[in-house]
Structure 1
């Protein structure tokens, strides 16, 4: 569990680094399935005008054959009852307003325990999230996934899989915007919309929130407090979002992890193959060093 008294100073904003690199955290890959269904269509199907029937070929494909194959009259239709509509999910319970102490961003776990908080941002992504889940299951590690709403709504099965594996799920806004330039109403919509989707998908309300890029604004902190979600930052940022190389990511994490560290990783927002490879490299090292892995309860 996180210690309410172990709150380190705010970590520097990653947003400035992103702007300098000319990148967006969500990247060009977007949040949907990376494959284009149109690529699988045949050339003949693409050449037919919309609504046209497929061309017949081979013996017995002329008008006479079509007439012979048609039934003389349509079989009688059996009366069927209309489908029963699915029951609407119960409304999301109201959350209590946080205290002033709870509303401060938390950047570490208890430094007196040899424990690490592993966090995974910007997913779920059908390319990389399954590989991350497999690694975490291999080592018996529980992590916190901060999910982007527009990615989660396209991959609800992965959201449920994350929850079913016993991991914790946090709110990472709906569109991953820069909250520092948004109104109270716009920030509230980003957070409420995401929390509602996660609740309807998993049956659990997210109790933790992370600002995109770590860019906390007074408005975002106030809305987060009113919605009853505690803000979580991080202690170790290997900048895997910038794809510096698997060895660089691994080295930065192993060099900077301390008891109580919260480590930032990404499974969405772009090519995260380096992150997956780095997890495969550094997780067994941390386990051998005697670290356990914890996360806040939802």
Structure 2
């Protein structure tokens, strides 16, 4: 409009590249001004961040592994690092402050799908211990876990909790994570929506009444499920957990062979299925040490599903 007025009044116009500043021009001026104010130390820290930053990984639904959690990236907290070095005025790697960079897509953003593993970039493994029987082996398993300061996720059959409230409390008091394993060990693939809802809700109720806990994770008995199972669990604010590596301990395998196979198969993000059985009670310590020797940390399902980085 200004150009038109000048043409009509004085017979000339402002060339496009000399036009009055638009919003983008203002933004360019601000950026240039900011860059001028950065000293050499600040620029070195920025360059270090660009050189070493690790991009975050979004949660996704994988073709094979279904729902997979995201994983935080890592970068330099430029302002905090600059503050640490400003007094000396020199770049010092020991004074660099790092910060985790969250992904854009989280596990909670995905449609309900089963989860078979954690993020393959996270050097962590989780033990899934399904409990519907095998009371005699639980004390030894708890002792080994305690000796190695490891927390596992125990999935409780609801009817088992009703019959064994004191043992359920012992596991909870040892600060292990508690999940839902349905009420009567049903074949959920063959159950209706109403029957599935009753199995899961009844188990949640007995766990809450006994332990004061509302499970976040659900493990279908025998790994039997369908789309309805996943959706019912989601309605109850639970995600459905399967496994990456199976001990198959209920078949009573030879302990050392079972341990060797499991340790050879675990990798970043693996979830190992087991039960309170004689082979697991005998082999869990060797299994722990073998997994740790591979540079993998052991934690709960919640820790494995977390986007938090393992340093």
Range class of TM-score, shorter chain: 0.5 to 0.7
Identify unmatched segments of 5+ residues in structure 2: 1-57, 67-106, 304-311
* 1:218 CA displacement: 2.0
Residue 185 to residue 100, structure 1, CA distance change in 2 (3 Å): farther
The structure whose residues are more often strand, as a share, is 2
Instruction: State the distance in 2 between where 1:107 and 1:291 align.
Output: 18
* 1:186 CA displacement: 1.0
Q: Which runs of 4+ in 1 moved over 2 A?
A: 3-11, 122-126, 287-290
Q: Given the alignment, which residue of 290, 295, 301 partners 1:296?
A: 301
Instruction: State the distance in 2 between where 1:145 and 1:290 align.
Output: 24
Residue 172 to residue 120, structure 1, CA distance change in 2 (3 Å): same
Higher relative contact order (CA 8 A, sep 6+): 1
Specify the alignment match of 2:262 in structure 1.
253
The 8 Å contact of residues 171 and 191 in structure 1, kept in 2 or not, is answered as: yes
Q: Given the alignment, which residue of 282, 285, 291 partners 2:287?
A: 282
Specify the alignment match of 1:9 in structure 2.
64
* 1:10 CA displacement: 5.5
Compute the RMSD of aligned alpha carbons.
2.2
User: Aligned runs of 1:1-298 on 2, under 5 Å?
Assistant: 4-5=59-60, 9=64, 101=110, 103-123=112-132, 125-267=134-276, 272-297=277-302
* 1:182 CA displacement: 0.9
TM-score in terms of structure 1 length: 0.64
Instruction: State the distance in 2 between where 1:177 and 1:110 align.
Output: 30
Larger Rg: 2
Instruction: State the distance in 2 between where 1:152 and 1:193 align.
Output: 11
Instruction: State the distance in 2 between where 1:274 and 1:194 align.
Output: 27
Report the count of equivalent residues.
206
* 1:123 CA displacement: 3.6
Instruction: State the distance in 2 between where 1:149 and 1:203 align.
Output: 14
* 1:246 CA displacement: 0.5
Between stretches 284-293 and 217-226, larger displacement belongs to: 284-293
The structure whose residues are more often helix, as a share, is 2
The 8 Å contact of residues 124 and 152 in structure 1, kept in 2 or not, is answered as: no
SS at match of 1:127: helix
* 1:287 CA displacement: 2.3
Instruction: State the distance in 1 between where 2:108 and 2:121 align.
Output: 25
Identify unmatched segments of 5+ residues in structure 1: 12-97
The 8 Å contact of residues 132 and 157 in structure 2, kept in 1 or not, is answered as: yes
SS at match of 1:234: coil
* 1:292 CA displacement: 1.0
Deviations 1:87-138 (A, max 9, x none): xxxxxxxxxxx96725211111122122101110134643011111111001
Instruction: State the distance in 1 between where 2:249 and 2:167 align.
Output: 22
TM-score in terms of structure 2 length: 0.62
SS at match of 2:246: coil
